[in-house]
Amino acid sequence: MQESSESLRVSVTLDVRGFDCPLPVLKTKVALRSLAAGEVLRVLATDPMAVIDLRAYCAKTGHELLGWSGDAELEFLIRKGGVPG
């Protein structure tokens, strides 16, 4: 991960461990709605498809995927872009 959650100010942590596609992305979308542009969401997941799904979601919606780490348990850091949802 380029930036760790320790070096960033994480506004909200979303725990979607145990949920399979498409729930991690859907819950991430809802969580991002509650943040202001520029705030950082930390997502904890166990679904290996979350890497592909969250990358695509961020690219499509204008949010910045700062990075991710982990294998069995994944951690993602997403900075909310200036777009709604």
In a domain, 21, yes or no: yes
Residue 84 lies inside a defined structural domain of this protein: no
pLDDT at res. 1: 53
Positions in the chain whose pLDDT score sits under 50: none
Q: DSSP assignment of 2-62, as one string?
A: -S-TTTS-EEEEEE-TT--TTHHHHHHHHHHHTSPTT-EEEEEE--TTHHHHHHHHHHHHT
Q: Residue 4: inside a domain, yes or no?
A: no
Q: Does some domain include residue 5?
A: no
* Report field, pTM of the whole predicted structure over 0.75: yes
pLDDT of residue 83: 63
pLDDT at 49: 96
Q: pLDDT digit string (tens) for 45-63?
A: 999 999 999 999 999 999 9
How many domains, the chain?
1
CA atoms within 13 A on the CB side of 79: 12
Question: What is d(CA 2, CA 5) in angstroms, rounded to the nearest whole number?
Answer: 10
> Tell me, what's the pLDDT at 84?
57
* Domain carrying residue 75: 10-79
Tell whether 16 is covered by a domain: yes
Catalytic annotation on 21?
Answer: yes
Active-site option among 8, 17, 19, 21: 21
